[in-house]
Amino acid sequence: MPAKEAGIFFAPLYSLGLSRHTAIKKRWMSSMNIEDAIKSRKSVRAFTDQPVDQETIHKILELAQRAPSGTNTQPWHTYVCTGEVKDAIVKDVCELFDQGKASRYEDFDYYPPVWEPVHRDRRRQLGWELYGLLGIEKGDRVRTAAQSKRNFKFFDAPVGLFFTTDAYLGRGSWFDAGLYMQTVMLAARAFGLHTCPQAAWISFQDPIYKHLNIPADQVLLSGMALGYEDTDAIENTLVSKREDIENVVTYAGF
Ligand SMILES: Cc1cc2nc3c(=O)[nH]c(=O)nc-3n(C[C@H](O)[C@H](O)[C@H](O)COP(=O)(O)O)c2cc1C
């Protein structure tokens, strides 16, 4: 947590005569309320270089481990990298990116080769809004590729995560892993941290499996950047739109 934010947070606890250690424990216990965590979570695409200590990451993952799953199968594996391992993955994947050696999402049955208009339009809207903020014109392939490549540097976040599940499992387990990932992202907010889930890594799997020793019988579900938001970055001002709930919710029997 940035020192300024921590100071504001701990001040009332100190005034109660609590030690800093107790204050930190209290913070973990009281933390952020669920509404604030949900509302403040967003996909951050520019991070500061402030490191995240392993103890904090461990706390987040301990919290997330409470995520529900069908018949409590907990069908997720999480790989966390920083330092030299992260750098090696970034280097190898960026090389593949530069060589245009991306696999396709549909090869992994991840996204369809062709989207129905409703989904295509929402994707396009996000793209226009993000690239509009960054001042990247439609058709500017060089800047579009450069922005896309930032995925493979974890948007400069100090920590990268990868989530897998066992390959023999079906859609129900992928669904469980999604609930788990959202719990990781909400738990991160309680520690002043931000995230960006990243399916982009699906296209460049070999270096990830190699550097993290991921067994071949696990399937990659997503990457995720974790760190502190760069609050000066224009892309982090993006507030992604949502469909009116009338168009997605069906009430019956009221
Ligand atoms: C599974 C998953 C994969 C995603 N992959 C990427 C990605 O590769 N790169 C990226 O910039 N954003 C990615 N996102 C972020 C989405 O674009 C974002 O969640 C969506 O636009 C809604 O915005 P918000 O997260 O700020 O609320 C991903 C989100 C999810 C849930």
Read off the pLDDT of residues 14-32 as tens digits, 9 standing for 90 and up. Answer: 333 334 444 444 444 457 8
Predicted local confidence at residue 22, as pLDDT: 43
Tokens matching residue 160: 């990268």
Mutate to test the pocket of ligand 1, among 43, 44, 134, 243 (most ligand atoms within 8 A of CB): 43
Q: State the CATH number of the domain containing residue 44.
A: 3.40.109.10
> Is the CB of residue 14 less than 8 Å from the CB of residue 121?
no
8 and 75, same structural domain?
A: no
As separate numbers, helices (DSSP H) first and strands (DSSP E) second, the chain gives 9, 4
Ligand 1 and 44: CB distance under 6 A: no
8 and 65, same structural domain?
A: no
What is the number of other CB atoms lying within 10 angstroms of the CB of residue 131?
A: 17
Nearest CA to 53 out of 155, 181, 159 is that of 159
Domain count within the chain: 2
pTM for the model stands at 0.90
Predicted local confidence at residue 14, as pLDDT: 35
Mutate to test the pocket of ligand 1, among 122, 179, 196 (most ligand atoms within 8 A of CB): 196
d(CA 207, CA 185): 24
Domain that holds residue 17: 1-30
Ligand 1 mean position to 127 CA, how many Å? 11
In the predicted model, residues of the chain with pLDDT beneath 70 are 1-30
Residue 252 lies in a domain: no
Residue 253 lies in a domain: no
6 and 70, same structural domain?
A: no
Starting at the earlier edge strand, list the strands of the sheet with 218-227: 77-81, 159-166, 218-227, 194-198
229 and 193, same structural domain?
A: yes
Ligand 1 and 148: CB distance under 6 A: no
d(CA 240, CA 246): 18
